[in-house]
Structure 1
Amino acid sequence: MPTTTTVEIEGLYCAACVGRAERVLRAQPGIAGAEVNLAQNTARIGFAGAADLEAADAALKRAGYGLRQAVTRLALDGMSCASCVTRVERALTALPGVQSATANLADTSVTVHHVAGPGMVPAMLAALGKAGYPAEPLTDAGVDRQLAEETTMKRRLLWALVLTVPVFVLEMGGHLIPAFHHWVLHTIGQGPSWTVQAVLTTAVLLGPGRVFLTRGLPSLFRLSPDMNALVAVGTLAAWAYSMVALLVPDVLPANARAVYFEAAAVIVTLILMGRWLEARARGRTGAAIRRLVDLQPDSALVETPEGDVERSAHALRPGDILRLRPGERLAADGVVVSGTSYIDESMITGEPVPVAKAEGAEVTGGTVNGTGALRVQVTRVGADTRLQQIVRMVGEAQAGKLPIQALVDRVTAVFVPVVMGIAVLAVVGWLILGAPVTQALVAGVSVLIVACPCAMGLATPTSILVGTGRAAELGVLFRKGEALQRLSAVTGVAFDKTGTLTEGRPELTDILLADGMAEDHVLSLAAAVEAQSEHPVALAIRRGAEARGAAGTVATDVQAVPGQGVVGTVDGLHVVLGNARIMQANGIDIGALAAGEAELSGRGRTVLFAAIGGRPAALLAVADPVKPGAAPGVAALRAMGLTVAMVSGDAPATARAVAAEIGIGTVVAGVLPEGKVQALAGLGQVAFVGDGINDAPVLAAAEVGLAMGQGTDVAIEAADVILTSGDPRAVATAITLARATLRNIRQNLFWAFAYNAALIPVAAGVFYPAFGLMLSPMLAAGAMALSSVFVLTNALRLRRAGHRIGENA
């Protein structure tokens, strides 16, 4: 059975690394596909059968990468003897990616060494639960990896700065202040000055800069150079040349005896600064998802026979009764058992208005209670909660690869070798032209440094990461990353009607009374004869009567007439309710109400005549009310230049009436599910929005399928995008975010490609003969770091894109 898993990879530094890691994985037997994400340092691997992560790890290590390893400690419930220890360890080591598991009976814990990945801990908890040992994380073993990476980079940068500043001052200070140069020569001397620079620069290269050598040189020897190789070759070239000038100066021409220790040291320092800034920015790109994860509280107040007990959220089980106090967050999904309150669901749905909750209402973990107190029965916990499903869904979308990334992959596959070739040609070319060795060396090193393809590799995944995270905050869940690109390119949107543009259940909308009749009296009698019916129209009349305060009475001799209506006796009065045929059958003249019936029917209403005591009493109109956000949502789409259509299985007259009410001009009605697919094909490159089981085929067939979050599970599974609020205005939000994300990606790619295209010739010295323009290695390093920081900063602008449902853009 095919399986897919997401794991974390070590050693990724640029887009070339991404392409190489993907090729290595895809070449392995049993691996059907692999997508590597530079922004998250993850790989999503599809196996044709069972997941063989050990083989994938071995293949990656041969290529200079590897799966990141992690250690997790879990607290266990139910472990009481030595045989329990064996069963716990066996359950865990059977999981793909788990290297070892050591259970400790004394403190009822287990320490697991495993491949790092977002799904590993949930899988371990599930396996232990299935084995009969419910577990929860014992400690925060995952001190945030991105924070750890930022801390490591900061420490390396500080060490590099401490060692580099004296080198820079000794060498460059004399160029800036001639008097300082003479002071150094007459006090320290040139030889000792160069020796100090050599020692400090060597410490920089072997200390904080060692990562470039240990990763770059092996990749070069494997004939698969990456960005670390570019930095390693460039800095070693400058260092080696300087050491020759220091130790054996006679092998160089007299005019070429100079050192470039400061170039090597400053290059390492500037690139480490760029990586530190990248690490800081990466830590912010996933902030939206971390905020979602942090929504679930650590504990909850649980009712027990011994009284209320504070219990860890990980220990909650379906069926537990929680006491939710005013202002608290809910720790799990559930159903309200008693109490009334308003729940703020904005973090899940994007809808800013709190929602009223009473007995029987579903509530979602992570949402915030208002001023009332509630008792909630837990229905879903852990990975099954809606919040965790959202986090998992968004994570999968962020790990995906957009079609536009294929261009980047093709370019970066050959980019680094080509750059190294250009660097060699630059050195050889300058030497042929008779330039000094130092000038040729500067040109080659500058090309190597300035061309590092970090920005190219970060351009797409960082924008996806931030864009989908922002979308999740606004109640728009992209289940597939490629849906971003497809949604940004649609030319129109087609809506289903019932449950998508309308509320999905009939309501009493109009009452037209005959002369001398009172509304509450008519509604009371109509509700009485419909009391036993479960027909949607009957339910709508009963709800309408209750909402208007019509007193309930009891009907006798009730008789339903299929296809016509119902008759009965209430308080001695003969009551008839239904269409014109049942009125005619009971000898009731409806002439006075016929005009009103025609007008209401023309507006898409289902109209019933009510007669009391043989006389016409009223017209009752029932309709599926339009959602408040339908008309504004359609108007927003039209303002964006999109065509809007309705494709519905409802009667044409009803569908056209609803479409006219909300501003839709194109209507295809009265079609079966397969007819919806055919209708969509004739509308062009459009997205489809639906919510029902009958919408699943067209949601899957559309360019992009968007499902309402309150829709059926089948519809949600078939869709590419889920609108958790169920508000039609969220469609415009989704498209706005998709367009903003793709625009951001194009900006990043343009910057990354244009930057390299422009600066490589400058670094090689093409413009030096005509304009005296040449890039020094230090400036090249600064420019390379700035390129990556620009791309990441530009992606972070997406955190302000879009707006919550109901707010102005």
Structure 2
Amino acid sequence: MSAPLTEVSDRRQGRSPAKPPSILVTGASLPEVRWAALSLALFLAGWVSQLLGAPPAIWWALLLACYVAGGWEPALAGLRALREKTLDVDLLMIVAAIAAASIGQVFDGALLIVIFATSGSLEAIVTQRTADSVSSLLNLAPERAALLAGDGSTSVVDTSALVPGNRILVRPGERVGADGRVIEGTSEVDQQAITGESIPVVRSMGDDVLSGTVNGTGALTVEVTRPASESVVARIVAMVAEASETKAKTQLFIEKVEQRYSIGVVVATLLVFTIPLMFGEGFEAALLRAITFMIVASPCAVVLSTMPPLLAALATAGRNGVLVKTATVMEGLGRTSLVAFDKTGTLTEGDPEVAHITPAHGYDASDVLRMAGAVERYSEHPLGRAIVRAATERSLELPPVDAFRATPGMGVSGELDGSTVTVERSTQQRDRVGTSVDLHIDRQFIGTILLVDTVRPAASRAVAAVTEVTGASPILLTGDNAVTAEHVAAATGVTDVRSELLPDGKARIVQELETAGERVMVVGDGVNDAPALASATTGVAMGGHGADLALDSADVVIVRDELDTIPKLIRISRRAHRYVVANLIIAATFITVLIAWDLVGTLPLPLAVAGHEGSTVIVALNGLRLLSQRKWDA
């Protein structure tokens, strides 16, 4: 029903777009939702009026109005499809609904209209939100940059106008305006939004920096190496949009067969009408038989065979802190054959914490933490905040410090009781698993503090459960260094590690796995994970601290960041699939028996409606059994 999210023809043909990809918003979400809501309201009003014994003219008028509100758009879409020489279930449902009304069964037809109108509006909402979230990613890259001239003067220009060879000045606290290389200055750059690294990295002459990353306290002169249209941010936009468009073509089982089913029902209805006429049956009798056939052959029960189990599974997952965005996603979750985890903020907490303190002779750990915390109290650096937090948790009193100074890429210092206290990155980093900082007083070494990104308590348990349910050990995809990645993998039980990956690298690995036949679920939380989330069969975002783009690009959001829900989600999807298969068998049996009765004998219209609606009720109630909490915990 929905329009494509982006125009990606240039990229598919191997050409780079002239500008960052634009998002084509359909503009249909709000109107579709309004029409669906109006259709549902009119249906409920007509139903209540009928139950209360209102004159038939009133509830007939309300139900016919429901037809118009919810049916005009699928009818129009169906007619457009006919012009393209295709036939879909939407048009068939409209014809069946009108046929039902023509023989007095207006309520049955209105119910059919409401089901399809609601389904279409939900699809439109999801499509619109995805388009909006991809558009918002462009806000990562600043619109302006300070262009350096040969004489050292600066002028503010649009970042879209920057070309390789230009030099820009990035002041403290600003976002880097383009992918480039540092030619002057030293600073710490926060790259978490792009690479997933939890701790800012030092960047100095010769180091690469990425568009959209945040500069720390130093000034950097950067030589542009890529135009805006080829920056990492622009590539993320293109990958997310293209992957989203591709995934939008995934359909539920019933939708995959709708063309054949629709054609079959139409052809069969015409035959049921014309053949008796050819053998001398009266026109009205033949028409009544054909209309009855259309009603009993209409796929109401088939549609409800699929939706109630999936919607019940969605509701049960929601009660347990997991938002599954569509029924299509819930159906596909059970086919997951391999899970790929991001590291920072997914298997780990995403924030550095003090892991170990090594004091010099004559000092203890509390002395080191107290003095380091006193100086770092004035710092906004993540390492400094972690040190202060650790000191506060241990109820250490932090003395006041004078003359606080922060040196870009090095550390901080201040005056404490007449002495200069310095906290700086260790020059002899012994353990790349974390980051070490050294404490000095008047250049005398006092101790070392090791800070690490801690592994989530449930991570190893979740990895083991995922391995059991999928039959394959998960893989780890991270932008962090190999040593840190291997440490986290060892702590969680992951055996396949892919490290030092940019966003396109993660997406490429996922696409290769998908091409090889795997149904990949990617679990992540950052902007850097968005292309992989969108490229995978299923993208799962950690909702506690997840970036907006990751949350909107993902198919599933784990609201409470509980990794234990992942294997449960796969299991309940598989249960829902079994319920769908059972419902389809029930629905097919009813339809077959009723059709045979109508063709061989004379199926009374009330019995046809009762059988049709009875099968609908049975499959709906069967699917709703998945609302039980036991189905989630089992």
One fold, TM greater than 0.5? Answer: yes
Residue among 377, 381, 388 paired with 1:535 = 381
Residue among 527, 539, 547 paired with 1:705 = 539
Name the count of aligned residue pairs. Answer: 461
- 1:524-603 to structure 2, matched below 5 A, reads 524-555=370-401, 570-571=416-417, 581=427, 601=431
- 1:69-88 to structure 2, matched below 5 A, reads none
Q: Give me the whole-angstrom Cα distance separating, in 2, the residues matched to 1:421 and 1:490.
A: 43
The one-letter code sitting in structure 2 at the alignment partner of 1:790 is I
Partner of 1:692: 526
SS of match in other structure, 1:761: helix
Q: Give me the whole-angstrom Cα distance separating, in 2, the residues matched to 1:518 and 1:116.
A: 67
The one-letter code sitting in structure 1 at the alignment partner of 2:477 is V
Q: Give me the whole-angstrom Cα distance separating, in 2, the residues matched to 1:208 and 1:784.
A: 21
2:72 maps to 1:226: no
Partner of 2:210: none
Change (3 A) 1:510 1:782: same
SS of match in other structure, 2:396: coil
Q: Give me the whole-angstrom Cα distance separating, in 2, the residues matched to 1:279 and 1:678.
A: 42
Partner of 2:508: 678
Partner of 1:502: 348
Change (3 A) 1:410 1:552: same
2:33 maps to 1:118: yes
Change (3 A) 1:555 1:409: same
TM-score under structure 1 length normalisation:
0.46
SS of match in other structure, 1:499: helix
Q: Give me the whole-angstrom Cα distance separating, in 2, the residues matched to 1:540 and 1:440.
A: 81
Q: Give me the whole-angstrom Cα distance separating, in 2, the residues matched to 1:50 and 1:666.
A: 41
Q: Give me the whole-angstrom Cα distance separating, in 1, the residues matched to 2:288 and 2:502.
A: 71
SS of match in other structure, 2:355: strand
Distance apart, 1:511 and its partner CA: 3.3
SS of match in other structure, 1:498: helix
The one-letter code sitting in structure 1 at the alignment partner of 2:33 is P
Change (3 A) 1:276 1:536: closer
Change (3 A) 1:547 1:520: same
Distance apart, 1:526 and its partner CA: 2.2
The one-letter code sitting in structure 1 at the alignment partner of 2:395 is G
Mapped contact 1:285–1:796 kept (Cα < 8 A): no
Q: Give me the whole-angstrom Cα distance separating, in 1, the residues matched to 2:63 and 2:427.
A: 87
2:444 maps to 1:605: no
SS of match in other structure, 2:343: coil
2:253 maps to 1:404: yes
Mapped contact 1:493–1:689 kept (Cα < 8 A): yes
Q: Give me the whole-angstrom Cα distance separating, in 2, the residues matched to 1:623 and 1:633.
A: 21
Change (3 A) 1:701 1:417: closer
Q: Give me the whole-angstrom Cα distance separating, in 1, the residues matched to 2:568 and 2:553.
A: 20
- 1:35-184 to structure 2, matched below 5 A, reads 117-118=32-33, 146=40, 149-150=43-44, 152-153=46-47, 156=50
Residue among 609, 615, 623 paired with 1:781 = 609
- 1:24-423 to structure 2, matched below 5 A, reads 117-118=32-33, 146=40, 149-150=43-44, 152-153=46-47, 156=50, 226-228=95-97, 402-421=251-270, 423=272
Partner of 2:160: none
- Aligned-residue sequence identity (percent) comes to 29
- 1:423-434 to structure 2, matched below 5 A, reads 423-424=272-273
Partner of 2:620: 792
Residue among 646, 649, 656 paired with 2:476 = 646
SS of match in other structure, 1:625: strand
Q: Give me the whole-angstrom Cα distance separating, in 2, the residues matched to 1:50 and 1:651.
A: 41
Change (3 A) 1:747 1:542: same
Change (3 A) 1:674 1:228: closer
Partner of 1:320: none
Change (3 A) 1:566 1:457: closer
TM-score under structure 2 length normalisation:
0.57
Mapped contact 1:227–1:416 kept (Cα < 8 A): no
SS of match in other structure, 1:505: strand
Change (3 A) 1:282 1:209: same
Q: Give me the whole-angstrom Cα distance separating, in 1, the residues matched to 2:398 and 2:299.
A: 75
Partner of 2:490: 660
Q: Give me the whole-angstrom Cα distance separating, in 1, the residues matched to 2:395 and 2:576.
A: 51
Distance apart, 1:661 and its partner CA: 1.8
Distance apart, 1:283 and its partner CA: 14
Change (3 A) 1:284 1:469: farther
Partner of 2:300: 454
- 1:424-503 to structure 2, matched below 5 A, reads 424=273, 447=293, 450-460=296-306, 467-468=313-314, 471-479=317-325, 482-503=328-349
Q: Give me the whole-angstrom Cα distance separating, in 2, the residues matched to 1:665 and 1:501.
A: 14
Mapped contact 1:449–1:777 kept (Cα < 8 A): no
Q: Give me the whole-angstrom Cα distance separating, in 2, the residues matched to 1:444 and 1:579.
A: 82
Mapped contact 1:737–1:802 kept (Cα < 8 A): no
- 1:743-754 to structure 2, matched below 5 A, reads 743-754=578-589
Mapped contact 1:153–1:275 kept (Cα < 8 A): no
Distance apart, 1:426 and its partner CA: 8.1
Change (3 A) 1:426 1:705: same
Q: Give me the whole-angstrom Cα distance separating, in 2, the residues matched to 1:799 and 1:781.
A: 28
Change (3 A) 1:481 1:457: closer
2:569 maps to 1:723: no
Mapped contact 1:226–1:416 kept (Cα < 8 A): no
Partner of 2:181: none
After superposition, the C-alpha distances for 1:756-797 in whole angstroms (9 at most, x for unaligned) are 2344234433xx9xxxxx966554432212112223323433
The one-letter code sitting in structure 1 at the alignment partner of 2:357 is I
SS of match in other structure, 1:714: helix
The one-letter code sitting in structure 2 at the alignment partner of 1:496 is D
Mapped contact 1:278–1:792 kept (Cα < 8 A): no
Q: Give me the whole-angstrom Cα distance separating, in 2, the residues matched to 1:50 and 1:530.
A: 50
Change (3 A) 1:232 1:719: closer
Q: Give me the whole-angstrom Cα distance separating, in 2, the residues matched to 1:760 and 1:740.
A: 30
Distance apart, 1:622 and its partner CA: 0.9
Change (3 A) 1:150 1:283: farther
Q: Give me the whole-angstrom Cα distance separating, in 1, the residues matched to 2:377 and 2:616.
A: 69
Q: Give me the whole-angstrom Cα distance separating, in 1, the residues matched to 2:539 and 2:295.
A: 45
Structure 1 residue runs without a partner (length 5+):
6-47, 54-95, 97-114, 122-141, 163-203, 236-267, 289-398, 433-438, 583-596, 769-773
Mapped contact 1:635–1:663 kept (Cα < 8 A): yes
Change (3 A) 1:724 1:661: same
Distance apart, 1:654 and its partner CA: 1.1
Mapped contact 2:254–2:302 kept (Cα < 8 A): no
2:588 maps to 1:760: no
Change (3 A) 1:691 1:466: same
SS of match in other structure, 2:560: coil
Partner of 1:364: none
After superposition, the C-alpha distances for 1:494-516 in whole angstroms (9 at most, x for unaligned) are 12111222222211123355676
Q: Give me the whole-angstrom Cα distance separating, in 1, the residues matched to 2:257 and 2:412.
A: 68
Distance apart, 1:559 and its partner CA: 7.8
Residue among 492, 507, 519 paired with 2:365 = 519
After superposition, the C-alpha distances for 1:337-378 in whole angstroms (9 at most, x for unaligned) are xxxxxxxxxxxxxxxxxxxxxxxxxxxxxxxxxxxxxxxxxx
Q: Give me the whole-angstrom Cα distance separating, in 2, the residues matched to 1:49 and 1:615.
A: 62
Mapped contact 1:560–1:566 kept (Cα < 8 A): yes
Mapped contact 2:523–2:542 kept (Cα < 8 A): yes
Distance apart, 1:528 and its partner CA: 2.9
Distance apart, 1:550 and its partner CA: 1.3
SS of match in other structure, 1:728: coil
The one-letter code sitting in structure 1 at the alignment partner of 2:366 is D
